[in-house]
Structure 1
């Protein structure tokens, strides 16, 4: 059988696809999902299969963030991205009942504490009951600002690019308000530093 260039490409593509499937079967999807490429594919798949309510603008990678208003945990509120303009912003969407969210909080707290006055700003956004979050943060305090919103089909997490509501969910916003990166799932120890480099 004579192999033409097209057949060689098709065989190579097939072998590559089988290799990816074998890798996922052997090690699970973790290594793929931990990559920027895997996160893009996952977020695109979740966004493509979700319908936001009419009139709700969902943030898209590379585009300016829509103005999203959230309440401050201790009163007042924030307008994203405007109130954080001038420096990059990491928003971490979480809930007090979410095990993976709780697991990553020490890493987020460490990262926030290392940023100083010129680094990446960090904002936690709890989709939860206010009292439950206040009680949780008394037991496990963090140094970064906290906001809160009522979970639902048009909540702030949806508007920030997570229409399926998977938690934890993090985004990196540029100093000029564009959505740079999205991450579905928790940060592992030491991962945020590389992820937040833009």
Structure 2
């Protein structure tokens, strides 16, 4: 084959390749877009916080959240955290509302089995403490309505707040487990973060006495 013939065949081959690329480009482009859409759809998104109706709140019959007493507060990691009260939906400034007496913040969620076993113990301890210690439940999940339903089913009427974004757990640098109990001094500072479920009412009473100096 002469040099000119080889050159002509080379030109023809280049033209064929270019034509194929032009013909297939839309298909390749659409395939890339489809793959990208599938990957994007698989990225999990945070669940939206559930809306709670007045009927849900009334059915749970929870105690009202504590109101600010005006007592002085210390350098608490919970400063600036405001959460909605489960009983009426009103915002609660945690440090301001809890200042004035020791408190136990119990972090839980409606799906947590150990939490369901511990909550009745906290209810009994609160009754035993007769107001000397505030016990506040902190529902640490966006499913507020499910949380209220769970409390109602367990017969728990402690005051509680909704912490959909786990602000309390993050503030006290606790691990991502439940239940967790945060023991606060009267000035709102953290005395102890208990990363385990309490096993009995006496266990709660002994821990509170040791960390907060209150025998209930």
Give the TM-score category using the shorter length: 0.5 to 0.7
Residue aligning to 2:85? 72
Gaps (5+ residues) in structure 2?
A: 1-73
Q: Which one has the bigger helix percentage?
A: 2
Say whether the 8 Å CA contact 2:183–2:192 is kept in structure 1: yes
Q: Secondary structure at the match of 1:82?
A: helix
Residue aligning to 1:111? 125
Shift of 1:157: 1.9
Q: Note if 1:158 corresponds to 2:200.
A: no
The farther-off stretch of 89-98 and 77-86 is: 77-86
Matches of 2:77 and 2:135, distance apart in 1: 16
Matches of 2:82 and 2:203, distance apart in 1: 28
Residue aligning to 1:8? none
Matches of 1:80 and 1:161, distance apart in 2: 17
May I ask how many residue pairs the two structures share in their alignment?
133
Q: Note if 1:100 corresponds to 2:114.
A: yes
Residue aligning to 2:146? 132
Q: Secondary structure at the match of 1:71?
A: strand
Say whether the 8 Å CA contact 1:98–1:167 is kept in structure 2: yes
TM-score normalized with structure 2 length: 0.58
Residue aligning to 1:171? 182
Q: Secondary structure at the match of 1:139?
A: helix
Say whether the 8 Å CA contact 2:108–2:179 is kept in structure 1: yes
Q: Which one has the bigger strand percentage?
A: 1
Q: Secondary structure at the match of 2:194?
A: strand
Which residue, 93, 97, 104 being the options, matches 1:83? 97
Higher RCO (CA 8 Å, separation ≥ 6 residues)? 1
Say whether the 8 Å CA contact 2:78–2:168 is kept in structure 1: no
Shift of 1:131: 1.1
Q: Secondary structure at the match of 1:182?
A: strand
TM-score normalized with structure 1 length: 0.63
Instruction: Please list the CA deviations of residues 133-185 of structure 1 after superposition, one character each: whole Å capped at 9, or x if unmatched.
Output: 11112211223211111145xx32211332x3211011110001110011001
Residue aligning to 2:204? 192
